[in-house]
Structure 1
Amino acid sequence: MRRARPASRREPTIALINIVFLMLVFFMVAGTLTQPLDRDLRLVDTAELDGRAPVDGLVLHADGRMSHGGAALASAADYLAALESDAPGTVRVIPDRALPAGVLVAVARELRAGGAERVLIVTERALP
């Protein structure tokens, strides 16, 4: 009589593969919920500020160009006209790090003159 071999025990790799696949799908979906900013835009560094996620705002490039939602704008008044509300309360400006401060101040003044109650500047939070 032959002796029965003990059955080899398999590792549960299928369950591990399923979990990794579900995590991959989750991160793919979670990473595409917001519209990405322009690739050549580098945000200003700041430290110790209450940060918020960059929302739909006026993007100011280093060369003075303006864009909103990927579309080029000629002036800050065009951005205010593109907003859905009749009287914009808070307006967010997303400047490039290399943008001259004078241009940023001029655009902020133009937004205030156009009816914006508050002009917030979106920056990158610096790590300690």
Structure 2
Amino acid sequence: MKKLPLAPIQRQSENTLSLINIVFLMLIFFLVAGQLAPPLDKSVTMIDSEDAPPVPPPHALVVRADGSLHYMGEPITVEEFLLRRPETTAAAVSAVSEDGVAAPNEALRIIADKDTQAVTLLDVVADLQKAGAGRMTIVTARSK
């Protein structure tokens, strides 16, 4: 009996290199995208709430427990905040009044420290309204 030589079975190679490249690119993208938002002020403990809708907190006015105002880690006044915040863009500049106060129809985010007294927070809100700020939102942390 004569044996015939069998041709070796050729398996198709699976090209996983392209899959690894795609996963690596996604990883890099999410690492960069996660760093775009500036971190919150570490000296502020946010207020807890149970039914708060998720809102991103960057570019918010921070009211510390002692009543001082901070924006992007720097002390600031109400008037300076209304001029420096990113919502005062080229589209909103036309809505800025002659004295440099931002348009009253723009939403404004406020992060208050958990230990801030309500009277202090109300004074800040009143100062913002006097300066021309319109709608305001207080950013809270969702309690678990």
TM-score (norm 2): 0.66
Distance 2:70 2:43 in 1: 13
Q: For 1:26, which of 19, 25, 29 is the aligned residue? A: 29
How many pairs were matched up? 124
Check if 1:41 corresponds to 2:44. yes
Task: Select 2:121's aligned residue among 101, 104, 108.
Answer: 104
Distance in 2 separating the partners of 1:39 and 1:67: 12
Partner deviation per Cα, 1:88-111 (whole Å, 9 max, x = no partner): 332211111111111101000110
Q: Which runs of 5+ in 2 are unaligned?
A: 1-14, 89-95
What is the match of residue 67 of structure 1?
70
Pick aligned residue for 2:79 from 77, 80, 99: 77
| Aligned partner (choices 51, 55, 58) of residue 54 of structure 2 | 51
SS of 2:124's partner is helix
Task: Give the aligned residue type for 1:78.
Answer: E
TM-score normalised by L of structure 1: 0.73
What secondary structure is seen at the aligned counterpart in 1 of 2:70?
A: strand
Give the root-mean-square deviation of aligned CA atoms: 2.8
CA distance in 2, matches of 1:91, 1:64: 18
The structure-2 alpha-carbon separation of the partners of 1:20 and 1:39, relative to structure 1 and needing over 3 Å to count, comes to farther
Q: Render the CA deviation track for 1:4-29: whole Å, top value 9, x for unaligned.
A: xxxxxxxx998897677545423321
Instruction: Provide the C-alpha distance between the structure 2 equivalents of 1:23 and 1:41, rounded to a whole number of angstroms.
Output: 33
Opposite residue 33 of structure 2, the aligned amino acid is A
Q: Which amino acid aligns with 1:39?
A: K
Contact 2:52 2:140 in 1 (8 A): no
Code of the residue aligned with 1:92 in structure 2: it is: R
